[in-house]
Amino acid sequence: MRIHKYFFTPLLFITSLSIAQPKGFSSVKNVQEFQTSLSKSNSQINTISSDFAQTKNMTLLSEKVKSKGKFFFKKEDKVRIEYTAPYKYLLVMNGGNVLVRDEEKTSKINTKSSKTMQSVNRIMIDCMRGTVLNNPDFKTTVFEDGHSFLLSLNPATDAMRKLFKRIDVFLDKKSFDVKRLSMIEQGGDFTDMDFSNPQHNVTLNEDIFKTR
């Protein structure tokens, strides 16, 4: 069984529920004010290090598939997602290059030749930089409750509609840290990716973002 079929696929083929106001949330009245606050907060962050736990519910399996690992981000465009349990899997995005490594092989991808990988790369970077609302591939609706902002990304192009139904990004209302990516695939499978213990502006060795 190939590991990435169950642990990485949700990051590449993220979808979610049909657009509607989520239960317990209300629309943000002043989106411009929200965007200004988000940009200001993220402008002060150069690096992010956090833990994550991922739970994938599959219609063909009675049990949930759980995994965990470490997440790293460095401005402007470097991301490392390292699954550590129950299996090892690595994704590194650096500029226009992507490295994927599982227990069987290592693959290198140039995102310039793949619209899909360009979009995945930009989504992950936008979440960390706070520039999600500027992504032309999606129309973003912003909601809030007492503790979180919810950014619902809906495809705005035909190419993205073939890949995604919606991406939900949950942000902490005080720190603007990404708390969760909640994902539902076309076939009914869904995935929650929860981030915890975020650390800002820690020193990150450039070597962890190598794609060669």
Task: Decide if 142 is inside a domain.
Answer: yes
CATH of the domain at 9: 2.50.20.10
Per mean pLDDT, which range of 15-19, 31-35, 114-118 is the poorest?
15-19
Task: Decide if 190 is inside a domain.
Answer: yes
- Alpha-helix residue ranges (DSSP H) falling in the chain: 4-7, 9-12, 31-43, 115-129, 158-163
Pick the more confident residue, 170 or 12: 170
Average pLDDT of the segment spanning 124-132: 82
* Residue 189, Cβ density class (10 Å: 0-12 exposed, 13-18 middle, ≥19 buried): buried
Backbone angles phi, psi at 122, to 5 degrees: -70, -40
Model pLDDT, residue 15: 35
Task: Decide if 96 is inside a domain.
Answer: yes
Q: Please state, rounded to an integer, the average pLDDT across all residues of the chain.
A: 83
Phi-psi label, residue 153: left if phi above 0, alpha if psi -120 to 50, beta otherwise:
beta
Give the β-pairing of 167-172 and 148-155. Answer: antiparallel
Model pLDDT, residue 106: 87
Task: Decide if 21 is inside a domain.
Answer: no
Task: Decide if 95 is inside a domain.
Answer: yes
pTM: 0.82
Q: Provide the domain count of the chain.
A: 1
Task: Decide if 164 is inside a domain.
Answer: yes
Q: Which range, 119-128, 131-140, 156-165, is most confident?
A: 131-140
CA distance 80 to 205: 12
Task: Decide if 166 is inside a domain.
Answer: yes
Task: Decide if 26 is inside a domain.
Answer: no
For 157-166, the pLDDT digits (tens) are: 887 777 777 8
Residue 114 in this model has a pLDDT that exceeds 70: no
Confidence of residue 3 (pLDDT cuts 50, 70, 90): very low
Confidence of residue 117 (pLDDT cuts 50, 70, 90): low
Q: Residue 122: which domain range?
A: 4-16+35-209
Confidence of residue 186 (pLDDT cuts 50, 70, 90): low
For 66-100, the pLDDT digits (tens) are: 999 999 999 988 999 999 999 999 999 998 888 99
Model pLDDT, residue 1: 35
